Amino acid sequence: MIEVSGLTKKFAGRFALREASFSLGKGEVCGLVGPNGAGKSTLLRILATLIEPTAGSAAVAGFDVRTRGEDVRRAMGYMPDVFGAYQELRVGDYLRFFAHVYRIPADREDGVILDLLKLVDLVHVSSQTIAGLSLGSRQRLGLARVLLHDPAVLLLDEPVSGLDPRARFEVREILRELGRMGKTVLISSHVLPDLVGLCERFVILDRGEVAFAGTPAELRTQVSPGRRVDIETEGDPAILREWLEKWPLAKEVKPSRGGALEVHLDGAGESLAVLSTALFEAGFRLLRFAERDPDLEEAFLRLTREGRT
Per-residue model confidence as pLDDT tens digits over 213-236:
998 878 877 666 667 788 999 988
Give the confidence band of 196 by pLDDT, cuts at 50, 70, 90.
Answer: confident
Q: Across residues 242-256, what is the average pLDDT?
A: 88
pTM of the model: 0.77
Final residue in a domain of this structure, among 161, 188, 221: 221
74 lies in some domain: yes
Residue 305 has pLDDT above 60, yes or no: no
192 lies in some domain: yes
Strand partners, 288: 232
pLDDT confidence of residue 7:
96
Q: What is the crossing angle of helices 135-146 and 165-180, to 10°?
A: 20
Q: Are strands 250-255 and 261-265 parallel, antiparallel or unpaired?
A: antiparallel
> Do residues 19 and 47 share a domain?
yes
With contact defined as beta carbons under 8 Å apart, do 254 and 196 qualify? Answer: no
Mean pLDDT of the chain: 87
> Do residues 66 and 188 share a domain?
yes
As a whole-number percent, the residues of the chain with pLDDT over 90 amount to: 50
Final residue in a domain of this structure, among 221, 244, 273: 221
Of the CA atoms within 13 Å of residue 25, those in its CB half-sphere come to 4
pLDDT confidence of residue 14:
92
List pLDDT tens digits, range 57-95. Answer: 999 999 999 999 999 999 999 999 877 778 899 999 999
Q: Give me the CATH number covering residue 274.
A: 3.30.70.980
User: At 149, phi and psi to the nearest 5?
Assistant: -95, 15
Strand segments, DSSP code E, in 25-144 are 29-33, 55-60, 63-64, 76-79
> Do residues 237 and 175 share a domain?
no
As a whole-number percent, the residues of the chain with pLDDT over 70 amount to: 93
Q: How many domains does the chain have?
A: 2
104 lies in some domain: no
Q: The domain containing residue 265 runs over which residues?
A: 225-293
List pLDDT tens digits, range 134-190. Answer: 888 888 999 999 999 999 999 999 888 778 888 888 888 888 888 888 899 999 988
